[in-house]
Amino acid sequence: MNNQLKKSLFTFTILLIFFNSCQDENDDDDDDYWDSPVYFNIDGLPVSLPDGKKILYYHAGIKTIYTSGSVEVNEDSSGLWLINIDGTNPRLILKGGLGNWYDISPDGGRIVFEDGGQIYRVPMIGDSIVVNQIKQLTFEGSNFFPAISPDGNWIVYDSNNESPDGGYRIWIMTDNGTDKSLVVSGRMPCWSDNQKWIYYIGLYAEIYKVNIDSTSEVVKVTHLNETNIYSADNRNPKCSPDGTKVAFESNGQICITDSTGNNLKQLTTDGGINPDWIDNNTIVYIGFNPRGSDIEDFLRNHGTLWIMDVDGNNKKQLTFFNGDVINQ
């Protein structure tokens, strides 16, 4: 297995450790197989293309799943895929993928991604990624979670570069990697629609937003951990295209709130991670099959691509596992 694939599978393993641990805390099921392994996701990291018609995602290329938790991988099918939002025409566009996290520019012409703790940019022409034109944008520290601004000119990311205590802080830089500027302490940033605010995960895993023009103006958006610190593990905030709502993960479920932190609602009950907005009314995410008595059915739908309405209705599974599940 090549290093890129090992790294990507490692990323999904960490996500699954988080997902399974959250469910185990609330799961009273005595079935033996639920007490065991961490299972790999079949797909991950969906990002909607600007046209709202296609979704870019990582497919792990798993061909065999064992109930013990191990997998066999077909490296020829592992990598970045595109799929239409109605679930048709899934196709591999880059074997092996691009690092562990990525975002697409508003014009669809560039991808920024993290690989080995550094951030890179690469052109995308149609359905093709021009890998011989990759440009490295960061060189010091460990840098993660890049996101491109609505005007396409800036990238926000988190980094421990120049951090006195090794903690992560939010930085911005130009699309060319110049004019790097520290914003605030935090992780997992994303832009607001008008580019005025950056949402991020801050103290006690709550979601905050900071005014990019006046970084002393910081607003706490969620208030989920005020009585029991870290009871809600919030991750990956994503602002809607019109700026009125924020989707995010909380304890392995997809939640939504408005931009001021009001009207909080949990949208999934069977598990969900990596939300992104297709439009103001539709969210794409990685979903999970309900835990039932059929382990094979559970594993065949473990970490696949789903879409749903902004109110949590009309959930639809887009990708499926067609390999073998072996009880071993």
Q: Mean pLDDT, to the nearest integer, of 70-93?
A: 95
3-state secondary structure of 313: coil
- From the list 162, 147, 212, 155, the residue with the least C-alpha distance to 179 is 155
Give me the domains of the chain, ranges plus CATH numbers: 3-326 (2.120.10.30)
pTM of the model: 0.87
Q: Is the pLDDT of residue 97 over 50?
A: yes
User: ∠ CA(287), CA(289), CA(295), 5° rounding?
Assistant: 140
Tens digit of pLDDT for each residue in 174-226? Answer: 999 999 999 999 999 999 999 999 999 999 999 999 999 999 999 999 998 87
Contact 271, 253 (CB under 8 A): yes
Q: Which residue shows structure tokens 């790097």?
A: 180
Do residues 169 and 156 touch, judged by C-beta distance below 8 A?
no
DSSP 102-163: EEE-TTSSEEEEEETTEEEEEEEETTEE-GGG-EE---SS-EEEEEE-TTSSEEEEEE-TT-
189 vs 33, 54, 167, CA distance in Å? 36, 23, 15
Q: pLDDT band at 20, cuts 50/70/90?
A: very low
Give the model's pLDDT for residue 58: 96
